[in-house]
Structure 1
């Protein structure tokens, strides 16, 4: 099993968990849990593959669908057995999925021969678009549009991956990029780090 495939499956499971958490918060039924988990897990990768003009990953490999269903069922059991969800559980699950998917998406794009800049963009799309679709369906402001760093974390990690890959192993590059994205995102959540470009006057 390649590390990209492993990253994909783990990312699908973690993003499916974040979908289940929102479905619980919005009091959705079982279908809602599966749908939100699925769009979160495969939405970004689907857009990436369509833009790269390659076969859509989950269409040719049903293991991703099985991973989403299993993760959603586990999430239902976990949520029902917990008296209270841990604080920031959605943001933490999303941060983990984000880091996994950005690395995987960047690596896959590089493998198709696109320039490094395009690979970073494709990695960012892979990480962000599924969560955007999830939040829109749940009638929430997408996390990427909230004030904490989000897309900037993806760009930083994706850039680290494309810069390091020519000099060290893919596995080590992926591990470093994953760590950068996860730490930046968690720090942004904890300390509300943002790239503020406008100055607002108090009225």
Structure 2
């Protein structure tokens, strides 16, 4: 019950980040809701398509759609207030990232994916929606830029896979992986850590 509630919190946080980006891009209310849905549910949908799960969970669990769409509507109406709550949204986003990555990795392992594929699927579950959001806004995806986001997601996915390979209980490994992702993400934001960027090409 607690895990389901936290998952919905993560969906709401992802939806809020997508809706805020849509408001900043001056999209109409429909566009705000579409970006909210895409950001919140895109990663899980990609996961299910890659793993052959049909229909995707986002299409059969109405609370996912209701929370993501409702969050988009709220943000379109109260975006000045949401913008002032940026730190809270970033915290919830980090929590959502941790839950989605470990959940996606565990799902991939349960369906027989090899370890390396489970890591990639888990990471994609967490970052896929944000990447789709940025592409729809014609921006370079955030996860491909300097912020420590995808790296934190991959580290958490690796923890889940290693724990699975060692035969450790999922009830222990998944929370540890989620906590590690959240911690790395928040620490990177606090310390302003960024991934290294190659030097400019001559000419």
Unaligned runs of 5+ in 1: none
The reply on whether 1:65 has 2:61 as its aligned counterpart is: no
TM-score (norm 1): 0.84
Unaligned runs of 5+ in 2: none
CA distance in 2, matches of 1:83, 1:71: 11
Aligned CA-pair RMSD: 2.7
- Corresponding residue number in structure 1 for 2:190: 190
Q: Which moved more, 1:145-154 or 1:86-95?
A: 86-95
Counterpart mapping for 1:64-103 below 5 A: 64-76=64-76, 78-80=78-80, 82=81, 85-87=84-86, 91-103=90-102
- Corresponding residue number in structure 1 for 2:110: 111
CA distance in 1, matches of 2:197, 2:63: 43
Deviation at 1:34, TM superposition (A): 0.9
Q: Which moved more, 1:171-180 or 1:129-138?
A: 171-180
**Cα distance 1:201–1:53, how it changes in 2: closer, same or farther (>3 A)?**
closer
Q: Which moved more, 1:87-96 or 1:107-116?
A: 87-96
Report if aligned partners of 2:39, 2:132 keep a CA contact under 8 Å in 1. yes
CA distance in 2, matches of 1:88, 1:29: 25
Report if aligned partners of 1:43, 1:130 keep a CA contact under 8 Å in 2. yes
